[in-house]
Amino acid sequence: MARLLIILLSLVCLMVVPACQPVQQSSSQDKIGVVVTILPQQEFVTAVGGDRVYVTVMVPPGASPHTYEVTPAQMALLSKARLYAKVGTPVEFELTWLEKLIAQNRDMLVVDCSKGIGLVESSDEHEPGMDPHIWTSLKNAVVMVSNICQGLVQVDPSGRSYYEQNRDAYIARLNALDGEIEASLKDIKNHAFIVYHPSWGYFARDYGLQQLAIEEGGKEPQAAYMVRLIQEAKNKNIKVIFVSPEFSTRNAETIAAEIGGRVVAIDPLAGDYLDNMRKVAGAFKEALK
Ligand SMILES: [Zn+2]
């Protein structure tokens, strides 16, 4: 009886173990390895690539892409990637990683998600330059998704029709939400808003809003600038100060207290892009009504 049990058990093991191993390995090895810089791009790549791709994000949740340093372990993990979808806007953060990544992986295709997107001036008046946060516009997201699709087709031509179908379906959802938000913000009374880190420049452009940044040159503001901002907030009847999770809320709270307003958190780097943009639009509607 005991011998029979042992034989049965070893038979079960033989059946289970080999069946399990290849499944585990195929989860990343058989798929097209794609690396992106920030979480919103992960949804873009997954939407287009579906089960043909395996996506890795460089900047983890809660970290700022402006300051994040990629670890050597991350670098090693990424050495087999076939495609790097960079944000591509004029910020330094991606450049140092990319140089290292490309040196490690010369076969990797680099796609610039910003190709074809018209950049706007940053709202941080003390740090002139172009606003790098292109993904906070649904209209820009359409272009980013198209660029990602082109890259996927280039590294995996046999998936072309699959990728293009997925791209069209996702772009339809982006356009639908864009129209929804435009309609929902049509009747707002106030158009100016204050935010600690000016991530929402393209969102503001799309819906006729005016973004005022608390940051000065990407740093904590000086007292004189805070005084001016508080006056401007009072003049423009601003009642909500927006903050994002990766920055301190201290200055935002000071201004909110001075103007009798409140601080509201919205996340420009959330991974669930469409859901998050809908949530953000709701916060803007509530703040600007
Ligand atoms: Zn930023």
Last residue of a domain, one of 138, 165, 181: 181
Last residue of a domain, one of 181, 203, 229: 181
The percentage of the chain sitting over the pLDDT mark of 70, rounded to a whole number, equals: 87
Do 153 and 177 lie in a common domain?
A: yes
User: Is 9 a member of any domain?
Assistant: no
Do 146 and 246 lie in a common domain?
A: no
How distant is the alpha carbon of residue 277 from its chain centre?
11
Is pLDDT above 80 for 92? no
Quote the mean pLDDT of the chain. Answer: 87
The alpha carbon of 91 and the centre of ligand 1 are apart by a number of angstroms equal to 9
Instruction: Report pLDDT for 94.
Output: 65
Do 172 and 245 lie in a common domain?
A: no
The alpha carbon of 1 and the centre of ligand 1 are apart by a number of angstroms equal to 68
CB 261 within 8 A of CB 232: no
Is pLDDT above 50 for 88? yes
The alpha carbon of 100 and the centre of ligand 1 are apart by a number of angstroms equal to 22
Is pLDDT above 50 for 7? no
Strands (E), the chain: 32-36, 53-57, 83-86, 109-112, 192-195, 210-213, 240-243, 262-265
The alpha carbon of 66 and the centre of ligand 1 are apart by a number of angstroms equal to 6
Instruction: Report pLDDT for 106.
Output: 83
Do 209 and 110 lie in a common domain?
A: no
Q: Report the candidate in 58, 48, 274, 276 with the shortest Cα–Cα distance to residue 155.
A: 48
Total structural domains in the chain?
Answer: 2
> pLDDT tens for residues 165-213?
999 999 999 999 999 999 999 999 999 999 999 999 999 999 999 999 9
Mean pLDDT (whole number) for 14-43? 66
Mean pLDDT (whole number) for 4-28? 42
User: Is 7 a member of any domain?
Assistant: no
Instruction: Report pLDDT for 182.
Output: 98
User: Is 18 a member of any domain?
Assistant: no
The alpha carbon of 146 and the centre of ligand 1 are apart by a number of angstroms equal to 23
Mean pLDDT (whole number) for 68-90? 86
> pLDDT tens for residues 212-271?
999 988 888 999 999 999 999 999 999 999 999 878 889 999 999 999 999 999 999 999
- Strands across the sheet containing 53-57: 53-57, 32-36, 83-86, 109-112
Do 63 and 155 lie in a common domain?
A: yes
The alpha carbon of 39 and the centre of ligand 1 are apart by a number of angstroms equal to 13
Do 162 and 193 lie in a common domain?
A: no
CB 257 within 8 A of CB 29: no
Give 3's pLDDT tier (boundaries 50, 70, 90). low
User: Which CATH number covers residue 129?
Assistant: 3.40.50.1980
**With 0-12 CB in 10 A as exposed, 13-18 as middle and 19+ as buried, what is 43?**
buried
The alpha carbon of 77 and the centre of ligand 1 are apart by a number of angstroms equal to 25
Do 248 and 111 lie in a common domain?
A: no
User: Is 140 a member of any domain?
Assistant: yes
Do 48 and 164 lie in a common domain?
A: yes
The alpha carbon of 224 and the centre of ligand 1 are apart by a number of angstroms equal to 23
The alpha carbon of 197 and the centre of ligand 1 are apart by a number of angstroms equal to 6
The alpha carbon of 25 and the centre of ligand 1 are apart by a number of angstroms equal to 36
Instruction: Report pLDDT for 288.
Output: 94
Last residue of a domain, one of 144, 162, 181: 181
Give 24's pLDDT tier (boundaries 50, 70, 90). very low
Write down the pTM of the prediction. 0.87
The alpha carbon of 143 and the centre of ligand 1 are apart by a number of angstroms equal to 20
Instruction: Report pLDDT for 205.
Output: 97
Do 166 and 236 lie in a common domain?
A: no
The percentage of the chain sitting over the pLDDT mark of 90, rounded to a whole number, equals: 66
Q: Which domain does 213 fall in, by range? A: 187-288
Do 37 and 111 lie in a common domain?
A: yes
Of 15-19, 34-38, 160-164, 228-232, least confident by mean pLDDT is 15-19
Do 156 and 199 lie in a common domain?
A: no
User: Is 269 a member of any domain?
Assistant: yes
User: Is 2 a member of any domain?
Assistant: no
Give 152's pLDDT tier (boundaries 50, 70, 90). very high
The alpha carbon of 269 and the centre of ligand 1 are apart by a number of angstroms equal to 9
User: Is 208 a member of any domain?
Assistant: yes
The alpha carbon of 283 and the centre of ligand 1 are apart by a number of angstroms equal to 19
User: Is 174 a member of any domain?
Assistant: yes
Do 176 and 196 lie in a common domain?
A: no
